[in-house]
Amino acid sequence: MNLIYKCTRCSRREAYTTLLERTLCRCGSPYLIEYDLNTLDRSQLREKFNSRPKSVWRYLELLPPIRISPISMGEGGTYLHSSRGLGRLIGLRKLYIKNESTNPTGAFTDRGATVEISRDLEVGVSRIICIASGNLSVSISAYSAKAGIPCSVYLKTGVEQVKVLQALAYDAEVFFTSNLESVITSLTQELASCHLITSSNPFLIEGYKTCTLEVLDELNWVSPDWILIPVGSGSHITALWKAVKEVEEIGLLKDGLPSILGGQINSCAPIAEAYKNNSEDIKPTSTFKVIFPDIAEPNPIWGHMALKAVRESSGEILTVSQERLLEAIKLLAKSEGILAEPAAAVSLATLIDAVDLGLIKRDETVVYIVTGSGMKDPSTIQSIAEIKTFERPNQFKRIGSTKKKILEILDKKPLHGYGIQRELANHYGIKVKLPTIYEHLSDLYSIGLIQLSVLDRARSKRTQKKYSLTDFGKEFYKRTIQNTL
Ligand SMILES: [Zn+2]
């Protein structure tokens, strides 16, 4: 099969003979590896996949050809859970969870590392410098160790301590910086004799693709309605969409494409901002303050590709506050037994909002990708262990922000569904369709927070149904919501 490096913005092409001299094109954008899929032997492709173990290398025909035995540690082949507890709590009937925390170093980035490092070894790279987020640096350290290639990593100041310890244990040389981009320019001399790995390397994207290929494979090559993914540099979302488009092109997908729901934290959300402003370009975030540095990417290199993917997929990008991440981590852990990293919790918090707003319908099929393990940050585990919940926590977890506002509206006066819809729009700027309003009301009713009163209209003698708070609903509103709205 013919391969070529192609710039993601100006379409400049580079021959696929060895590694790229420079990871970015002259226009400043990253390259992707493009396959001539017309020359791919499509016969019995599914049978070929099925004949191999569940792992990244199961999808050989859709990966760059490697002529050596790959540097592999059993990455990929992660479990796709059919959710019961979490789906019920947030109001979804068909929720699947792809648990990437069971990869060798605890994150999805191992998928990229196996492809990148195998290629590096094949072409004779003698030393690696990795300048990237914590998870990717850890993966590159581990796979370099396995390949016997010396490795130095540059980590962001404030990165979770366990990630630093992991990289050191894999015998990488570890440096810290507050600005990953400036390191690249200051290392010009060293880079002349080393291979540079950043999140823009196209071989990483090829490895990340396999997470989506596995999801589609598990679902018998039928797309879910939605795939949820946290957005940092935009590399994972770029890979997701590349995988979907490739299997569509070769005729593996049975029908329809998934929509992508991306999630970012609101204190550092340059891609979400560009999406909201209908812009093609990403404006880097200059000032931001984050508790979890590994999920904040102020100048995302794959940003324009992430935007393109979300738009083409008729998806959405939502933002959430960092404060909600701890709650989301706890909710996932207690309902499914999966301890997620904060980045993965971004997606869960946005999922709760998307269901709450009626963006994701309750009978739609949703795949939620847990990108990495919460075990990498013991202080976060300690924080979530201390989270206290109301005495009937399971039922109240479903009370998202729209429901809280509905309770506030009904605390003032009884109203019918249409009246609530009008109040939400006029006072809170929340536009929700009427069927979604009735779903919220049905939930609140089933928990016993609201009641339906039938009122006689004296003049017309017609009856009218209005919703109001029950006594319990009034108490609940006073105790748990009134001060937090
Ligand atoms: Zn270019």
Number of domains in the chain: 2
Same domain, 333 and 427: no
What integer pLDDT is reported at residue 310 of this predicted model? 97
Half-sphere exposure of 347 (CA within 13 A, CB side): 26
For residue 421, the domain's CATH number is 1.10.10.10
The pLDDT > 70 percentage for the chain reads: 94
Q: How far is the CA of 10 from the centre of ligand 1 (A)?
A: 4
Does position 398 have pLDDT exceeding 70, yes or no? no
Same domain, 340 and 414: no
Domain termination site, one of 332, 356, 390: 390
Same domain, 85 and 207: yes
Residues with beta carbon < 5 A to ion ligand 1?
Answer: 7, 9-10, 12, 25, 27, 29
Whether residue 354 lies inside any domain: the answer is yes
Same domain, 331 and 208: yes
How far is Cα 158 from Cα 298, in angstroms, rounded to an integer? 15
Same domain, 247 and 98: yes
Return the amino acid letter for 468.
S
3-state class (DSSP) for residue 82: strand
Residue 182 Cα to chain centre, angstroms: 27
Same domain, 350 and 423: no
- For every residue of 125-191, which 3-state class applies, written as one string? CCCEEEECCHHHHHHHHHHHHHHCCCEEEEEECCCCHHHHHHHHHCCCEEEEECCHHHHHHHCHHHH
By the 10 Å C-beta count (0-12 exposed, 13-18 middle, 19+ buried), 2 is classed as: exposed
Q: What is the chain's mean pLDDT, rounded? A: 90
Q: How far is the CA of 57 from the centre of ligand 1 (A)?
A: 30
Same domain, 277 and 334: yes
Write out pLDDT tens, residues 143-169: 999 999 999 999 988 888 899 999 999
Whether residue 32 lies inside any domain: the answer is no
Write out pLDDT tens, residues 181-192: 788 888 888 888
Does position 139 have pLDDT exceeding 70, yes or no? yes
Q: How far is the CA of 7 from the centre of ligand 1 (A)?
A: 5
Q: How far is the CA of 24 from the centre of ligand 1 (A)?
A: 8
Give residue 456's domain range: 401-481
Same domain, 212 and 354: yes
Same domain, 230 and 101: yes
Among residues 347, 300, 299, which one has the least CA distance to residue 325? 347
Q: How far is the CA of 293 from the centre of ligand 1 (A)?
A: 29
Whether residue 328 lies inside any domain: the answer is yes
Whether residue 210 lies inside any domain: the answer is yes
> For residue 209, what is the enclosing H or E element?
helix 202-218
Same domain, 385 and 416: no
Same domain, 224 and 326: yes
Domain termination site, one of 345, 368, 390: 390
Write out pLDDT tens, residues 74-127: 999 999 999 988 999 898 999 999 999 999 999 999 999 999 999 999 999 999
The label of the residue with tokens 């010009």 reads 188
Residue 474 Cα to chain centre, angstroms: 37
The label of the residue with tokens 């979890």 reads 292
Contact 459, 478 (CB under 8 A): no
What integer pLDDT is reported at residue 396 of this predicted model? 56
Domain termination site, one of 390, 423, 453: 390
pTM: 0.84
Write out pLDDT tens, residues 325-344: 888 999 999 999 999 999 89
> What's the average model confidence in pLDDT over 290-298?
75
Better pLDDT: 476 or 93: 93
